Amino acid sequence: MTLLTQIQLMAEYNQWMNQRVYQAAKQLPIAKLNEDKKAFFGSILGTLNHILVADIIWLKRFSNHPSHHVSLELVRQLEQPENLRQILYSDFEALTQKRFELDKIIIDWCQEITERDLSFLLPYQNMKGEPFVKEFGSLIFHFLNHQTHHRGQVTTLLSQENVDVGVTDLLTLIPSHD
């Protein structure tokens, strides 16, 4: 399995898991989604917004790759989030719609990327304005893993509300070779 196929698998996994998490979260009233659970980003809604904010920030950085991936055109038009705690959507349905739109863009983009693209050294600035130059493929892996990390926090918060997300293992999407 190449790095590119691993990235494509993780993109598929993130889309699949986001659908499961959002479907589970939909069972709760908006007051519960907004309730401060003392998590790093406060509430379920706060954490889901953080994942979306971080995805937009990274995808906008990735859109500067010299291959100028066409699938990121809509991302280029999005406003740059102001900070990592920004609540882009307080309405859960609007948040869900934007999440699913972005997941489709990510899937399409990961199909557009080539192995050659992955070795490019991408210059970017973090939210503090500090400059970095890192390998594109490794940055994509960080980007995809970031979703997994915070989605795990959301599944814990949902579990505390007796909402079961069900199976969450990447293993479920790995093809069998019987």
Predicted pLDDT at 52: 99
Domain count, the chain: 1
Dump the DSSP string for 39-105. BTTBSHHHHHHHHHHHHHHHHHHHTTSTT--GGGHHHHHSPPPS-TT--S-SSHHHHHHHHHHHHHH
pTM for the structure as a whole? 0.96
The CATH number for 20's domain is 1.20.120.450
Average pLDDT in the chain: 97
103 is in which domain, residue-wise?
3-163
Q: List pLDDT tens digits, range 129-140.
A: 999 999 999 999
In a domain, 172, yes or no: no
Closest CA to 148 of 9, 43, 31, 1: 9
In a domain, 178, yes or no: no
In a domain, 63, yes or no: yes
> Is it the case that residue 1 has pLDDT exceeding 90?
no
Predicted pLDDT at 174: 93
